[in-house]
Amino acid sequence: MNTHPTVSDLEALIAGTLDEDRGILISAHTDDCAVCTRELAWLRAERDLFAQRARGVPPSEVWARIEAQIADRLRHEDPAPRGLSRVLAGAFRGQRMQWFAAAGAAAAVLGMIAISPLSPLRSTPSASPSTMQPLSDPSAAAGGAAERGSVVVSVSDADNEGVVLSSTKVTGPIALDLSTLAAEVEIAAGPKDEAKVTLEDSHVTSVRWLPPAAGQTAWRLDFGGGASLPDGHLRLLLPEGSRVDVRSASGDVQVAGVKGDVAITSESGEISVKDAQAAKLTSVSGDIELHEVRGAIDAKTTSGALNIQGEIRQALRYTSVSGDLTLSGPCRLATCKITAETVSGNVLLARRGEHALAIRLRSHSGEISGAEGLPVEMKRVPGQATEWTTRLGAGTGTLELSTQSGDIQLDTP
């Protein structure tokens, strides 16, 4: 080769995408050519530098705004097209429903892109914004659901200094599905025969309880004709033992004292759960705080941390890219089985003397720290993750962390 190869050839050489014959030819040239050797060194340096750049997804608000705008555009399309337009519009009805639902479902978190059943296209026609009408016979709509026989007895009031109130009579614990975009949500235990909602600081001027549809078991809320609450501060009182399922884009969600199962999905909002049975929680960047959750816990985050107060009595499964798991309450029962998978997230155990745990860490570069005085064993298999094991107290519970680079850090005894 008498002439220098092109930059494209050299780039392909570095990328390993040249065919074999040409690769040999160019390599033979570059080995003896100072100019090309220098060019190759620069191309490698540039490639390595650019590969180091941060490659994160934009803030969750960006997607939330895109989703809301698309839903808004579809919503404002001609509602009653005629002729050919009507036929074509029918073809896109499914598309519209998906976008309304997706916007209402506050986007997908960690891939759980939910097609919400709460699409406004599915809900019953709403009353005018400030004069809510009680449902005539919600028990009929409830079908075989647990709330058969319950009756909506009160209406919302939009004129009470911007506060919207709505309540419904129920026969005991209920299941509630709730969807918000940026609204703050607080759910607490209330009277055993009533479910109440208070909404403040919102553009929505009416709220209505919707009993479970046929074949469904969960109550829903209608927000001025929409299935998802865009903004404001929502407070709910539910009978003790109720189950809640909340999907939020960026608002914080707090559930306290309800004592039932809890499922919360949030992109960037903080999640707080206190005094509940099982908890299923998903967050991208928002942190999760749990206090006295008695049942199984399943938590997934991208970068949000999971902090647990109170004793862990059942299985805890934690999956995260970079979020840390902090255990401030003890794990000492045989039923306490903690399984964590992270890329770089750590597991932090406070007050290690309170735990009774068999600990296993599988990691490529992580380790167990703070284990002074404990019997630590290390098993290294070439080409595989290193396995560390140790034990706290009787070792009745279990903690297993599989990670690329996360550590297990033990606090003082």
Partner 1 sequence: MDGKRALSLVQTAHPLAAVADDDSQVRSIDDPLLGRAQRGDSAAFRALFLRHSPGVRRYLGDLLRDDAAADDATQETFLRAFDSLRSLRDAARLSSWLFGIARNVFLEHCRARKDFSRRLNEPNRDVEAVDEAPTPDAVLLGAEADRVLSEALAHVGEPRKSALLLRLDHGLAYEDIAEVMGWSVSKVKNEIHRGRLQLRSQLLRYLGGSS
Residue whose CB is less far from partner 1, 111 or 125 = 111
| Nearer to partner 1 (CB atom), residue 103 or residue 187 | 103
358: nearest Cα among 333, 327, 386, 384: 333
Angle at 34 between CA 33 and CA 35, to 5 degrees: 95
- And the tokens for 232? 């404001």
In angstroms, the CA 202 to CA 205 distance is: 7
- Smallest distance, Å, CB 400 to partner 1? 21
The rounded distance, in Å, linking the Cα atoms of 236 and 238 is: 6
Q: Write the DSSP string, 377-393.
A: EEE--TTS-EEEEEEET
C-beta closer to partner 1: residue 156 or 266: 266
Q: Residue 30 Cβ, how far from partner 1 at the closest point, in Å?
A: 12
Which residue, among 196, 163, 168, 202, has the nearest Cα to 183 in the 3D structure?
Answer: 202
Smallest gap from Cβ 273 to partner 1, in A, equals: 22
**Other CB atoms within 10 A of residue 114 CB:** 17
CA 155, 159, 164 angle in degrees (round to 5)? 50
Q: How far is the CB of 62 from partner 1 (least distance, A)?
A: 5
Whether 237 and 191 have beta carbons less than 8 Å apart is answered as yes
Q: How far is the CB of 247 from partner 1 (least distance, A)?
A: 13
In three-state secondary structure terms, 408 is strand
- Nearer CB in complex with partner 1: 8/136: 8
Query: CA 220 to CA 208: how far, in whole Å?
Result: 8
Q: Fill in the DSSP letter of residue 4.
A: P
Binding site for partner 1 (CB under 8 A): 7-8, 37-38, 41-42, 45-46, 48-50, 52-59, 61-63, 65-67, 69-70, 92, 94-96, 98-99, 101-102, 107-108, 110-115, 321, 343
90: DSSP letter:
H
Q: Are 319 and 284 in contact (CB under 8 A)?
A: no
CA atoms of 121 and 132, how far apart (whole Å): 19
The separation between CA 9 and the C-alpha centre of its own chain, rounded to angstroms, equals 45
Q: Toward partner 1, which CB reaches closer, 63 or 386? A: 63
Least distance CB 109 / partner 1 (angstroms): 9
Q: What distance, in Å, lies between the first and last C-alpha atoms of the chain?
A: 70
For partner 1, the closer CB: 108 or 132: 108
- Smallest gap from residue 394 Cβ to partner 1 (A): 38
CB of 398 to partner 1, least distance (A): 26
Helices (H), 33-162: 34-51, 60-75, 83-91, 93-104, 138-142
Listed residue (187, 254, 243, 246) closest to 217, CA to CA: 243
CB of 45 to partner 1, least distance (A): 4
Report the candidate in 360, 386, 363 with the shortest Cα–Cα distance to residue 371: 360
CB of 344 to partner 1, least distance (A): 10
Instruction: Using the minimum distance from each CB to partner 1, give the nearer residue, 96 or 313.
Output: 96
Q: Which is nearer to partner 1, 108 or 155 (CB)?
A: 108
Token pair 């059943």 is found at 117
Nearer to partner 1, 65 or 379 (CB): 65
CA distances from 161 to 128, 200, 256, 355 (A): 18, 9, 27, 51
Residue 58 or 373: the one with the smaller Cβ distance to partner 1 is: 58
Smallest distance from partner 1 to CB 111, Å: 3
Residue number, 35 or 125, with CB nearest to partner 1: 35
